[in-house]
């Protein structure tokens, strides 16, 4: 027996749905079986297991053609092999919650040309046919496709074309289909007709499993069959999608029912007596649904209700067209001039590996958001409703919040939703299937709510031209829309793992011009599992110079706001990358969040909450009121900043690209936008660097190593303002690979605690296993730059509780330590986190918090960590202090790699170590502490006593008696020195003087404290006085 409290009503309803939808939460199985055993079927839903998972199957794995006779009940399979499920290969393969393979089957003699089809047969007994209910479900783990037969009749098919025989030598790829997702189960609902194939006595299940492609690494099969009792008086509608219609007077519905040829019906009525618990008998309207395709055993029903009035309450119910009805649901409509809607980031049910946990987080966020904003007009999702686009159990989790039946919810297609299953579940208004469609998931669509236009784009389709056409046509068709929103999944202005991907940047560059042209107010996005609110953006640039009122509202701003939502379920989070130029507010709170969008005739206000405490984490308000005159504060000052101060003479990935950022401050102390076209970059000496209008620096061909002074001039409203100078060093670069990727590593994968001694160079690792990198599992795992796994390591005996920590050690040689420079790079492929040691000293830590990490700790146990980004490799940049741990001779690198969670499917490790090389006779690069720039300067004698200085004198200056320098380092720039003498008289020995790139008319060296002169070839006349000795000076051209 069991009971569920009122507080957990949503979970109870989920429980009921799950039973109908194949018992999708396997963790509930024991609970349900107990209930079924102890209670006779009543108004609830109960199940009886006919075939359990892990049963014994006969199988044929020799690649032969079995025709059709093998599927019949009387077929003789006595010569077939036999084994317990799961069956497949390789030995460590797992799938969903079915666990590891118990019986390994053969794939043939050629691993690159594996058998296309494997055949399976088993039996189950039915003693009393009258006790078998009229519906059933199959829960299966399948890789990559299957057709299931019951007593010779087909009852289910997965990942293969419908209604056609599949040849024994056919692979999934032959039909243009994808391989199966390994993270979740597949479920099939059996109709009354299909359950009618069951006979009293022995029944035969036969399955043909097809491989994805000849070189595929794995095959997997297991299943369970259950007979489901459903109250015959209740219409079994599930996965009810209640969504905005084409406008505020319409709502779109879609729902699943058991497979049928009879369209479902929706009845609805306005509540006039305040009673929404009983269905009215008068003024009831009815709409017959359109039948649509759904997953195996289900039927999708789609309907639109019309004539809905604002500020009213309605009830509705769903029926089978033959007199059966669902329970009664209700919803309230709101005003359309001033209202709010909720924006939710990726729920991605199933992403954590725990569907029940993700579902609970999703229910909690929806419930709390609605509790705070009960008059919400609709909910807008950012996409990735589920993790596996074809998982009905994950969709059951997404539909689990009971409030989704009361509040219309618009969805966007995420990359994890991108299959026709999205179309099965959602009935979108004004969809254009010819624009934006991808993988048959659906095209771009829109709806209006009052004078608000919401355009949802399927960003899985990377053809921006289609999206631009859709937006232009939609805006043209809705000329009275005051507020314009665009929604799509793949954020083009985010802060985490996806933000730097080339495809994301390309999409940004291609969509933004149209978004700008159409004056879109806000773009709502997801995908990157972190929060970002941009500045107002236009022409790919932030517009920071805005009029702000006393309430911090932005008044009549130009440009568009871009908002990226974090996870609304807590199923997955990504770590933030380095700050972006476009982010006004960015965060990774590692707790579910949501955003309320309040709309009035003159304003939009975005308020973001964390779902655990309901604390406001960000707020931003836009006011658009033509009666308010916009007065922008004037520009007062500008400054320049370089992303790095070093550029190599030749391009190399060792050094990051250097760019300049010119910022302005207005007279009120706020930010002032500076347009690229108003900036002119200056350098001294000239001809060494090229600077694009957007500030990117490249080194000119033939440029010499040395220091270059860079500054910017900005022309604004008739006046020119100049920034301070920054020094950019041009350096010659050479590098040496100390450790190649794919090197041999010793490793320990037995789950033991190695303490700290294993990191030390003297540790004895002779008993450890050895293999070439990349190391990890499964064999097909790969990473950019490093490729497929070369050495498969063990995760332990239990696939649901994999080893948390793996240890790796390798060595490399350094012949001449003096040749190693002061910068190093370690590029590495990782899943999921690592701490790296060089000769026992930590030199890098990725995706883990500081401090000692226990050998038994997963990332999911720790704060400050997230799953690895599998689309990129990572880099540690080492400085001189890190490289000081190198020794001449043998060096030891050690790495501890931590797994994300006990059920994670993969681990990965490889790296390469590159260090800069000291060139012989290279000069030390010095960055001056002080910078002086004299323009039109007139004086008798200029005394400079600074210790380290850069001095620029232009041709308009007149310094009659020359420049006197007494410090330790000086560099001279500018045309003014062509007729200005320089006297060098250092107070301390060891002075270095740099004349590179500057013509010097006269230089006097006074005393014996100058050790080095650079650019001596530029000196027209040099004189040595007061014990100065040119033989004691190092001259460098």
Of 912, 950, 922, the residue nearest 934 (C-alpha):
950
Which residues, 6 or more positions from 644, have their beta carbon under 8 angstroms from its beta carbon? 655, 656, 658
- 867 close to 806: Cβ distance less than 8 angstroms: no
Distance CA 570, CA 565 (A): 12
Residue 31 sits at φ, ψ, to 5 deg, of: -60, -45
Distance CA 680, CA 678 (A): 7
Q: Which of 671, 705, 727 is the last residue before a domain boundary?
A: 727
Distance CA 787, CA 790 (A): 9
The b-or-e profile of 831-845 (16+ CB within 10 A means b, else e) is bbbbbbbbbbeebbb
Token match 């509780």: residue? 801
Distances from the Cα of 659 to the Cα of 303, 411, 581, 641, 877, angstroms? 55, 39, 12, 8, 19
Per-residue confidence (pLDDT) for residue 867, from 0 to 100: 62
Rg (C-alpha) for the chain, rounded Å, is 35
If one counts every other C-beta atom within 10 angstroms of the C-beta of residue 306, the result is 13
Within a domain: residue 42? no
Domain limits at 553? Answer: 334-623
Distance CA 1013, CA 966 (A): 15
Distance CA 589, CA 749 (A): 33
Does residue 717 share a domain with residue 762?
A: no
Of 355, 482, 421, the residue nearest 17 (C-alpha):
355
Within a domain: residue 246? no
Give the CATH number, domain containing residue 136.
2.60.120.260
Does residue 224 share a domain with residue 115?
A: yes
Give the CATH number, domain containing residue 695.
2.60.40
Tokens of 765: 């690792």
Q: What is the mean pLDDT of the chain?
A: 90
Tokens of 686: 């000239």
pTM of the model: 0.64
pLDDT digits (tens, 9 = 90+) for 388-441: 999 998 999 999 999 999 999 999 999 999 999 999 999 999 999 999 999 999
Does residue 611 share a domain with residue 678?
A: no
What does DSSP assign to residue 217?
A: -
Q: Which of 594, 623, 652 is the last residue before a domain boundary?
A: 623
Tokens of 597: 């969008």
Within a domain: residue 922? no
Distances from the Cα of 933 to the Cα of 53, 397, 927, 937, 955, angstroms? 81, 67, 16, 9, 12
- 738 close to 915: Cβ distance less than 8 angstroms: yes
Distance CA 778, CA 724 (A): 55
Residue 10 sits at φ, ψ, to 5 deg, of: -60, -40
Within a domain: residue 244? no
Distance CA 7, CA 402 (A): 12
Report, as ranges of residue numbers, the positions in the chain whose pLDDT lies below 70: 1-46, 96, 179-184, 863-872, 919-923
Q: What is the length of the chain? A: 1037
Cross-strand bridge partners of residue 661: 641
3-state secondary structure of 351: coil
Which residues, 6 or more positions from 70, have their beta carbon under 8 angstroms from its beta carbon? 60, 77, 119, 121, 206
3-state secondary structure of 1037: coil
Does residue 758 share a domain with residue 699?
A: no
Burial of residue 867 (number of CB atoms within 10 Å: 0-12, 13-18, 19+): buried
Within a domain: residue 692? yes
- 334 close to 294: Cβ distance less than 8 angstroms: no
Per-residue confidence (pLDDT) for residue 4, from 0 to 100: 30
Does residue 522 share a domain with residue 388?
A: yes
Give the CATH number, domain containing residue 352.
3.60.21.10
Which residues, 6 or more positions from 427, have their beta carbon under 8 angstroms from its beta carbon? 241, 243, 252, 253, 254, 302, 303, 304
Within a domain: residue 685? yes
Distance CA 22, CA 230 (A): 12
Does residue 408 share a domain with residue 370?
A: yes
Does residue 586 share a domain with residue 660?
A: no
- 810 close to 912: Cβ distance less than 8 angstroms: no
Does residue 1019 share a domain with residue 997?
A: yes
Residue 473 sits at φ, ψ, to 5 deg, of: -65, -40
Which residues, 6 or more positions from 762, have their beta carbon under 8 angstroms from its beta carbon? none
Does residue 61 share a domain with residue 210?
A: yes
Of 245, 240, 303, 292, the residue nearest 430 (C-alpha):
245
Distance CA 381, CA 111 (A): 44
- 802 close to 881: Cβ distance less than 8 angstroms: no
H/E run at residue 705: none
Q: Are strands 483-490 and 452-456 parallel, antiparallel or unpaired?
A: parallel
Of 9, 45, 21, the residue nearest 239 (C-alpha):
21
Per-residue confidence (pLDDT) for residue 869, from 0 to 100: 63
Q: Where are the alpha helices (DSSP H) in 907-998?
A: none
Distance CA 805, CA 900 (A): 10
Of 168, 164, 169, 151, the residue nearest 75 (C-alpha):
151
Distance CA 662, CA 684 (A): 18
Of 965, 961, 963, the residue nearest 949 (C-alpha):
965
Distance CA 444, CA 467 (A): 7
Does residue 948 share a domain with residue 877?
A: no
Token match 């996005």: residue? 525
H/E run at residue 225: strand 219-229
Does residue 403 share a domain with residue 519?
A: yes
- 600 close to 340: Cβ distance less than 8 angstroms: no
If one counts every other C-beta atom within 10 angstroms of the C-beta of residue 747, the result is 23
- 570 close to 588: Cβ distance less than 8 angstroms: no
Of 605, 610, 665, 654, the residue nearest 632 (C-alpha):
665
Does residue 887 share a domain with residue 747?
A: yes
Within a domain: residue 321? no
Task: Count structural domains, the chain.
Answer: 5
Within a domain: residue 261? no
If one counts every other C-beta atom within 10 angstroms of the C-beta of residue 281, the result is 7
- 748 close to 763: Cβ distance less than 8 angstroms: no
Distances from the Cα of 528 to the Cα of 464, 480, 567, 619, angstroms? 20, 33, 9, 20
Half-sphere exposure in the Cβ direction for 229 (13 Å, CA): 20
Q: Which of 229, 259, 275 is the last residue before a domain boundary?
A: 229
Distance CA 582, CA 599 (A): 24
């Amino acid at each position: 027996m069991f009971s569920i409290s009122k507080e957990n009503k949503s979970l109870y309803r989920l429980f009921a749905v799950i039973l109908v939808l194949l018992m999708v939460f396997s963790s509930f199985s024991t609970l349900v079986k107990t209930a079924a055993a102890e209670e006779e079927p009543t108004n609830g839903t109960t199940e009886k297991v006919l075939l359990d998972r892990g049963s014994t199957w006969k199988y044929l794995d020799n690649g032969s053609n079995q025709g059709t006779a093998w599927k019949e009940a009387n077929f003789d399979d006595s010569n077939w092999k036999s084994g317990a499920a799961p069956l497949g290969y390789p030995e460590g393969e797992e799938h969903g919650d079915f666990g590891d393979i118990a019986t390994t089957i053969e794939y043939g003699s050629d691993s690159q040309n594996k058998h296309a089809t494997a055949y399976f047969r088993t039996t189950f007994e039915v003693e009393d046919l009258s006790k078998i209910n009229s519906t059933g479900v199959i829960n299966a783990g399948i890789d990559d496709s299957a057709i299931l037969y019951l007593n010779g009749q087909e009852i289910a098919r997965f990942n293969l074309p419908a209604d056609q025989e599949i040849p024994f030598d056919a692979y999934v790829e032959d039909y243009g289909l994808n391989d199966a997702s390994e993270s979740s189960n597949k479920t099939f609902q059996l109709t009354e007709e299909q359950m009618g194939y069951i006979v009293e006595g022995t029944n035969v299940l036969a399955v043909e499993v097809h491989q994805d492609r000849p070189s595929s690494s794995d095959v997997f099969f297991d299943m369970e069959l259950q007979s489901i009792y459903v109250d015959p008086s209740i219409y079994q509608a599930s996965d009810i999608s209640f969504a905005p219609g084409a406008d505020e007077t319409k709502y779109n519905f879609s729902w699943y029912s058991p497979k049928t040829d009879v369209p479902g019906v929706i009845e609805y009525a306005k509540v006039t007596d305040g009673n929404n618990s009983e269905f009215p008998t008068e003024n009831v309207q009815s709409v017959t649904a359109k039948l649509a395709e759904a997953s195996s055993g289900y039927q999708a029903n789609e309907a639109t209700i019309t004539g809905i009035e604002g500020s009213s309450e309605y009830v509705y119910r769903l029926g089978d067209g033959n007199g059966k009805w669902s329970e009664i649901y209700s919803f309230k409509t709101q005003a359309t001039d001033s209202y709010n809607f909720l924006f939710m980031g990726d729920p991605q049910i199933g992403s954590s590996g725990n569907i029940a946990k993700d579902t609970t987080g999703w229910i909690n966020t929806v419930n709390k958001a609605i509790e705070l904003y009960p008059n919400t007009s609709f909910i807008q999702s950012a996409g990735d409703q589920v993790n596996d686009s074809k998982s009905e159990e994950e969709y059951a989790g997404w539909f689990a919040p009971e409030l989704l039946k009361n509040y219309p919810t618009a969805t966007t297609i995420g990359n994890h939703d991108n299959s026709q299953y999205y179309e099965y579940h959602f009935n979108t208004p004004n969809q254009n299937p010819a624009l934006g469609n991808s993988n048959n998931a659906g095209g771009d669509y829109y709806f209006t709510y009052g004078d608000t236009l919401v355009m949802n784009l399927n960003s899985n389709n990377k053809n921006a031209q289609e999206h631009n056409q859709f937006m232009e046509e939609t805006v043209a068709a809705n000329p009275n829309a005051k507020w314009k929103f665009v929604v799509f999944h793949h954020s083009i202005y985010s802060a985490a793992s996806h933000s730097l991907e080339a495809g994301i940047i390309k999409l940004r560059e291609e969509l933004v011009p149209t978004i700008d042209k159409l004056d879109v107010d806000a773009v709502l996005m997801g995908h990157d599992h972190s929060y970002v609110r941009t500045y107002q953006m236009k022409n790919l640039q932030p517009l920071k110079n805005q009029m702000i009122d006393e309430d911090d509202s932005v008044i009549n701003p130009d440009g568009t706001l871009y908002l990226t939502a974090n996870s609304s379920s807590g199923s997955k989070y990504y770590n933030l990358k380095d700050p972006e130029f476009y982010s006004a507010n960015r965060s990774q709170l590692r707790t579910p969040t949501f955003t309320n969008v309040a709309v009035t005739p003159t304003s939009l206000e975005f308020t973001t909450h964390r779902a655990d405490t309901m604390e406001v984490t960000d707020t931003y308000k836009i006011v658009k009121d033509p009666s308010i005159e916009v007065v922008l504060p004037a520009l007062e000052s500008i400054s320049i900043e370089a992303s790095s101060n070093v550029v190599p003479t030749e391009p190399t990935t060792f050094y990051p690209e250097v760019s300049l950022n010119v910022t302005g401050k207005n007279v009120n102390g706020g930010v002032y936008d500076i347009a690229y076209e108003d900036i002119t970059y200056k350098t001294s000496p000239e001809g060494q660097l090229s600077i694009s209008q957007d500030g990117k620096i490249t080194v000119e061909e033939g440029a010499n190593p040395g220091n270059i002074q860079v500054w910017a001039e900005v022309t604004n409203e008739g006046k020119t303002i100049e920034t301070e100078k920054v020094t950019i060093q041009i350096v010659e670069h050479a590098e040496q690979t100390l450790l190649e990727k794919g090197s041999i590593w010793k490793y320990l994968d037995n789950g033991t605690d190695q303490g700290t001694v294993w990191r030390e160079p003297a540790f004895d690792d002779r008993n450890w296993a050895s293999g070439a990198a990349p190391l990890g599992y499964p064999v097909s795992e790969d990473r950019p730059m490093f490729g497929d796994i070369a050495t498969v390591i063990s995760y332990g005996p239990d696939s649901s509780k994999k080893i948390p920590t793996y240890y790796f050690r390798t060595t490399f040689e350094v012949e001449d330590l003096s040749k190693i420079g002061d910068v190093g790079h370690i590029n590495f492929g990782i899943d999921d986190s690592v701490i790296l040691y060089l000769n026992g000293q930590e030199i890098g830590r990725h995706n883990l918090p500081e401090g000692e990490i226990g050998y038994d700790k997963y990332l999911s146990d720790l704060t400050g960590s997230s799953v690895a980004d599998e689309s990129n490799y990572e880099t540690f940049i080492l400085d001189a202090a890190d490289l000081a741990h190198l020794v001449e001779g043998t060096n030891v690198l050690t790495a501890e790699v931590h797994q994300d969670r006990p059920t994670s499917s993969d681990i990965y490790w490889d790296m390469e170590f590159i260090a800069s090389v000291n060139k012989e006779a290279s000069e030390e690069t010095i960055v001056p502490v002080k910078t002086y720039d004299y323009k039109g300067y007139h004086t008798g004698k200029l005394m400079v006593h600074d210790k380290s200085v850069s001095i620029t004198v232009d041709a308009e200056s007149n310094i009659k008696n020359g420049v006197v320098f007494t410090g330790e380092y000086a560099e001279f720039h500018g045309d003014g020195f062509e007729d200005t003498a320089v006297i060098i008289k250092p107070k301390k020995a060891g002075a270095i003087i740099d004349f590179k790139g500057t013509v010097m008319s006269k230089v006097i060296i006074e005393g014996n404290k100058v050790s080095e002169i650079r650019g001596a070839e530029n000196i027209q006349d040099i004189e040595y006085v007061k014990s100065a000795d040119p033989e004691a000076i190092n001259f460098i051209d």
